[in-house]
Structure 1
Amino acid sequence: MSQLKRNTAVKKGRNQTQGDVLAEKIPLHFKPHEEEMARDIQRESARVWNTVMTIHRLFWFKYGVWIDEAMMKEFLKGRFNVHSQDVQAIIETYYECWERTRKLHEEGHTEWRYPWRLKRFFTSTWKVTGITVEDGYLRLSNGWRKPPLKVKLPERLNGLAIKQVQLVWRRNGYWLHVAVVKPALEKVQGDAVAAIDPGEVHALTLTDGQEALVINGRHLRSLRRLRNKTLRKFQKAISRTKKGSNRRRKLLAAKYRFLNWIGAQISHAEHAVTKMAVDWCLERGIKKVYIGDPQGVRERDCGRHHNQRMGQWSFGRLRDLLEYKLKRHGITLEKIEERGTSGTCPLCGKYTKQAGRIYRCGDRECGFGEVHRDVIGAAGILDLAVNGRFTLGRKLPEMVSYARPVVLAPGQGHNIKAA
């Protein structure tokens, strides 16, 4: 983050509205003239980015001076046909990228390049001064004597304070990313801890030492498989067409429509899984949650089919969703190494590589088994987090519950149309 942007964030923090700032993503269905307006706005935003990058590099190559962010904002004031806040946001984005690259170079990562590529289109940003809400419509100013871009707000956003809006092109259409302030949620007052073992078959397994919840992830798995099989059919058909042909354009449009649909289904399922986990933690007054890091599992070579499943396993996405949802309730999420947690016997401490979903100890004298492997893993993560090691003869959860995420049937979503 640039110094000027950091100072601005500090000033905003002093007068911050009570609540949590969250991002809402709204698909847009523009009329032809509205789509042309959006395209012109993003072209002008790209011109701002190209100008900032050119001036910044030119002054360094010619005079050996890096222009700072405040000087660049003053120099480009009033020179573009977009709202002044959009110009400032683009300048801040450029300097943030530039400073992040400089820091990486100082750390030895010289393969990273400073911003250099010229853009044809660029994401446009509106801050508070360029946003007006009138009769359920979002009015986005485009500068002096320019017609505004108007979008109908969904009902769930009516009455909420809007901090920032971005116009984003994604695959084959425009989306609006709206940063809104939602009321703060009640914080957990307990001091209990829990652990989560993420999995590809069972999405999340939670335990607090007394109880355990295993959330099935087969719905997510089936959606990814459907995506792979359908994309294969599309790619096979597209490869037989000529570039620029009507057939190719129709196939690409159908492919993007499918990707948008399946992406929404996967995102909805991930939200359903994480909501179940958060609700479980709230019911038990959990204040801190430890989650296993399965990065080592993905690095193993176990054949192309298994490697594909591991590569598309979105445990990082689930962890991010969990982190922000738990944080709203004052619950912290901490990542912990999970090596050996699913294979170490809780009774004798011997490690045995497992092949099925039910744990079986490899020591014949011990003979421990008949417990879900992921429950053993979650209990092991909790043991490592609390005690720093695997304790022999540790007590396992007495009650294990199994649940499937509750998801809406396809086609129950609502399209948001532009004004």
Structure 2
Amino acid sequence: MPRRRESSAPPVVYRTARVGLRATGGQRRRLFGLLRSGGDVWAAVLLLNRWRRQRGDRPLVGYQELCRELAAAGEGTFGELSTVGARSVLRAYSDAWMSAARRRRAGDETARFPRRRRGLVPVRFYAGTFTVDGGRVRLPVARGRPPLWVRLARPLPYPDGQVRSVRLTCAGRRLFLEVTAEVPVTVHPAGAGPDPDRVAGVDLGIIHPYAALAPRGGEGGRDAALLVSGRALRAEHRLHLAEAKARTRAAARRAPAPGRRGSRRWKQFRRRTRALEGRHRRRLAQARHEAAKAVASWAVAQRIGTLAVGDLRGVLARDAGRRQNKAVRDWAVGDLLRALADKAEQSGIVVEMVDERGTSSTCPACAARVAKPRGRVFHCRRCRFTGHRDLVGAANIAARASASAGAADGGSVVTGSPPVTTHRRAGRHLPGAGRSRRDPRRGLISRPPGRPIPTDPVVRGGGSIWPAVARPGTGPGSGESLAGTRREDQAPPHRGEPCLTRP
């Protein structure tokens, strides 16, 4: 979670962006040499503390103690790695050791101290030790070595004067610079900024990563709601899993026997697998940040001062079977929370965690407990209330946050009319989600039982159309909203009953 500086200056937050590098062959060797040297520093600290444990001495875990040992070793001990880069590895080791010690003192017996060697360790350089010149960055190296300039794959998203550190890392054999900058908190005009008294509830889910509702936050005192669809993210998980299984089955016969080195074809398969895994993670990270940005923009437009988010720690620790556990793991609740907290803090909005137990099975109009529906429609037989299941959970979360804050309308959740609902979609950049061509991985998913053989000419070669094919001009990303175009998307007949939103 980004930190906020406490001073008389305007408040700022620290934001980090990952930028790729365009390096030549020689530059790649030098950059990977820095990462390997970082791994050597890490291994040296592990070996030093191992010797001290064998002698019965206290391990060296403090940052200053480790820096004194590094100074005694001298400059150039770890190849081209400068003292600044080596100290960043020592700080990472010290922070990991101290974090494990705090967790163990708190009673967490699963916390483990850093004892495993790592071949490549990221190296961080702080402000004043590197130089940013347009689309190039000069990284510090050991004394007597030639300067190392690297070219960025895209311009920095922050001004050069706001950059505070850069971190050299790799993912899937691709080199990146994680640029951390000091970004000021958004200053809103008078009367248009977030109101601390306005609270909106946010319900996290798999179909809808974010479902938010602000009681009486819309026009004319109506409830304002936001639904961010995450079906493209779920499709990306399923298609990537199907592709990984197909690739594994195809390469199973080329797998080396135990104790034997793999062939060139096997190594090429492993490199390709790592590249696809990295691309998969980058796509999902971008989609989650886009979804969080949509929530923050909506909250600013509604002048929301506090976002109450349901605490899902009780749900995540439950064993629900192989398939559901896989879905929960792909859900990545921690990434969603971090992305939302990051965007909200920059906009001047406070994020508060609220107990979400029973929020999706409680009627927001009469507070009656209702069996959790299987679909997206919530229906209360007691008061005839009908609404979207995720927005019902968001409404109850907002009510709990207002009641805990002592608001006068903490128990009043919804109005009698449907809310003003905004629909957004996360992952428009994913293949097959917008105007882009049909995702070729869809053919790896088998057709459900009972589904007839497709005759649509869009499907080439009579392949499967499961999931559905995005048509040009009507699919997500085409600029046209699909909300309300299907029969099940239409608002149900009111007949005098309050309705939260259409399902």
CA distance in 2 between partners of 1:320 and 1:71 (Å): 33
1:124, CA displacement in angstroms?
Answer: 1.8
Q: 1:229 aligns with which of 215, 235, 242?
A: 242
- 1:138-193 per-residue CA deviation (whole Å, 9 max, x = no partner) reads 00011211123322233234732322122212123222212123343225342211
Q: Is the 8 A contact 1:200 1:313 kept in 2?
A: yes
1:396, CA displacement in angstroms?
Answer: 6.0
The answer to whether structure 1 residue 28 and structure 2 residue 21 are counterparts is yes
Taking a change above 3 Å as real, the CA distance of residues 128 and 242 of structure 1, as seen in their structure-2 partners, is same
Q: Is the 8 A contact 2:399 2:412 kept in 1?
A: no
Residues 91-240 of structure 1 correspond to what in structure 2 (within 5 A)? 91-153=90-152, 154-157=154-157, 159-160=159-160, 161-186=162-187, 188-191=193-196, 192-209=198-215, 210-240=223-253
The answer to whether structure 1 residue 378 and structure 2 residue 377 are counterparts is no
Q: Is the 8 A contact 1:206 1:213 kept in 2?
A: yes
CA distance in 1 between partners of 2:40 and 2:325 (Å): 42
- 1:285-332 per-residue CA deviation (whole Å, 9 max, x = no partner) reads 111110112344445565544443233112321111010110112211
The answer to whether structure 1 residue 270 and structure 2 residue 275 are counterparts is no
CA distance in 2 between partners of 1:262 and 1:95 (Å): 31
CA distance in 2 between partners of 1:392 and 1:70 (Å): 55
Q: Is the 8 A contact 1:344 1:350 kept in 2?
A: yes
3-state DSSP of counterpart to 1:382: helix
Q: Counterpart amino acid of 2:38? A: S
Map of 2:277 onto structure 1? 259
Stretch moving more, 160-169 or 389-398: 389-398
CA distance in 2 between partners of 1:348 and 1:182 (Å): 45
Q: Counterpart amino acid of 2:159? A: G
Taking a change above 3 Å as real, the CA distance of residues 70 and 34 of structure 1, as seen in their structure-2 partners, is same
- 1:341-361 per-residue CA deviation (whole Å, 9 max, x = no partner) reads 111123332212122211112
Taking a change above 3 Å as real, the CA distance of residues 60 and 256 of structure 1, as seen in their structure-2 partners, is closer
Q: Counterpart amino acid of 1:190? A: D
Q: Is the 8 A contact 1:141 1:147 kept in 2?
A: no
Stretch moving more, 68-77 or 296-305: 296-305
Q: Counterpart amino acid of 1:171? A: G
3-state DSSP of counterpart to 1:254: helix
Q: 2:63 aligns with which of 69, 78, 81?
A: 69
**TM-score normalised per structure 1:** 0.85
**TM-score normalised per structure 2:** 0.72
Q: Percent identity?
A: 23
The answer to whether structure 1 residue 291 and structure 2 residue 290 are counterparts is no
Q: Is the 8 A contact 1:53 1:94 kept in 2?
A: no
Stretch moving more, 119-128 or 228-237: 119-128
CA distance in 2 between partners of 1:373 and 1:349 (Å): 14
1:207, CA displacement in angstroms?
Answer: 1.0
Higher share of residues assigned helix? 1
The answer to whether structure 1 residue 53 and structure 2 residue 73 are counterparts is no
CA distance in 1 between partners of 2:70 and 2:114 (Å): 18
3-state DSSP of counterpart to 1:195: strand
State the number of aligned residues: 400
The answer to whether structure 1 residue 399 and structure 2 residue 419 are counterparts is yes
3-state DSSP of counterpart to 2:359: coil
CA distance in 2 between partners of 1:205 and 1:350 (Å): 21
Taking a change above 3 Å as real, the CA distance of residues 128 and 402 of structure 1, as seen in their structure-2 partners, is closer
User: Any unmatched runs of 5+ in structure 2?
Assistant: 216-222, 257-261, 435-503
CA distance in 2 between partners of 1:152 and 1:31 (Å): 9
Q: Counterpart amino acid of 2:95? A: E
User: Any unmatched runs of 5+ in structure 1?
Assistant: 1-8, 413-419
